[in-house]
Amino acid sequence: MSDWIAIGALALVAILIPVSMMVVSWLLRPSVPEQGKRATYESGEVPVGSSRAIKFNIQYYLVALLFVVFDVETVFIIPWTVVYEDAVTEIGLGEALLPMALFLGVLLLGLGWAWRNGAVKWVRSAQVDSQRVSES
């Protein structure tokens, strides 16, 4: 029963600390309402017009998604490299290397597919290309 009391106390502390910090910051913060503070601001651009009319480049999200995929790859590779030497001595080189080779092969296949479909290729506007021509 005392284990449940400890878990309940931990849960209570986990709730009380963030709530108390928010209450204290709400009480101590300066309140200076200005129109500029209430304006929507994102990515260094002040929005103009309706949010439905703004067209954005999806390329940023594709690159971020690819980054997450290959970042997760390192999370799987690092522990494998730590136990690789022990695995080779216990089960042999082929059985220790084959699963990781297959994993890397699938990832390289996915990268090749993304590269072939233009997911990692930045789209350039005609304005940027014309500035480069005029500078040369």
Q: The whole model's pTM is what?
A: 0.48
Q: CA 94 to CA 6: how far, in whole Å?
A: 48
* Number of domains comprising the chain: 1
Residue 95 lies in a domain: yes
* Residue pLDDT, tens place only, 23-57: 999 999 887 777 766 666 666 666 666 767 666 67
The domain containing residue 87 runs over which residues?
A: 56-124
Structure tokens at 99: 């699963």
89 belongs to a structural domain: yes
Query: SS3 helix, strand, coil % of the chain, rounded to 5?
Result: 70, 0, 25
Q: Would you state the pLDDT for residue 22?
A: 95
| pLDDT tens string 83-119 | 888 888 888 888 888 888 998 899 899 888 888 887 7
Q: Let me know if residue 84 belongs to a domain.
A: yes
Q: Say if 74 falls within a structural domain.
A: yes
Q: Which residues of 21-51 are buried (b: 16+ CB within 10 A; e: fewer)?
A: eeeeeeeeeeeeeeeeeeeeeeeeeeeeeee
